[in-house]
Amino acid sequence: MDNEIIGKTKEFAKAKLYGESTGHDWWHVYRVWKNAVSIGEKENADMFVVQLAAFLHDIADWKLHGGDHDAGPNEARKFLESLGVKGSVVSHVCEIIKSLSFVGGGKKEMPTLEGKVVQDADRLEALGAIGIARAFATGQKLGQPIHDPEIKHVDNPSVEEYKKAYTGERKNTTINHFYEKLLLLKDLMNTETAKKIAEERHRYMEEFLERFYNEWDGEC
Ligand code: ADP
Ligand code: NI
- With pLDDT > 70 as the criterion, what percentage of the chain qualifies? 92
Measure the CA–CA gap between 100 and 116, rounded to whole angstroms: 10
CA-proximal residue: ligand 1, atom 7 (nearest): 103
Q: Which of 50, 79, 60 is nearest to 22 (CA)?
A: 60
User: What is the band of 159 on the pLDDT scale with cuts at 50, 70, 90?
Assistant: confident
> Is the separation of the CB atoms in 153 and 135 below 8 Å?
no
Mean pLDDT of 31-58: 97
Q: Which tens digits make up the pLDDT trace of 114-144?
A: 999 999 999 999 999 999 999 999 999 899 9
Q: Is the CB of 115 under 6 A from ligand 1?
A: no
Res 20: pLDDT:
73
Res 19: pLDDT:
80
Q: What is the pTM of this model?
A: 0.91
Measure the CA–CA gap between 21 and 174, rounded to whole angstroms: 18
SS (H, E, C) 26-91: HHHHHHHHHHHHHHHHHCCCCHHHHHHHHHHCCCCCHHHCCCCCCHHHHHHHHHHHHCCCCHHHHH
User: What is the band of 220 on the pLDDT scale with cuts at 50, 70, 90?
Assistant: confident
Q: Is the CB of 128 under 6 A from ligand 1?
A: no
CA-proximal residue: ligand 1, atom 3 (nearest): 123
Res 36: pLDDT:
98
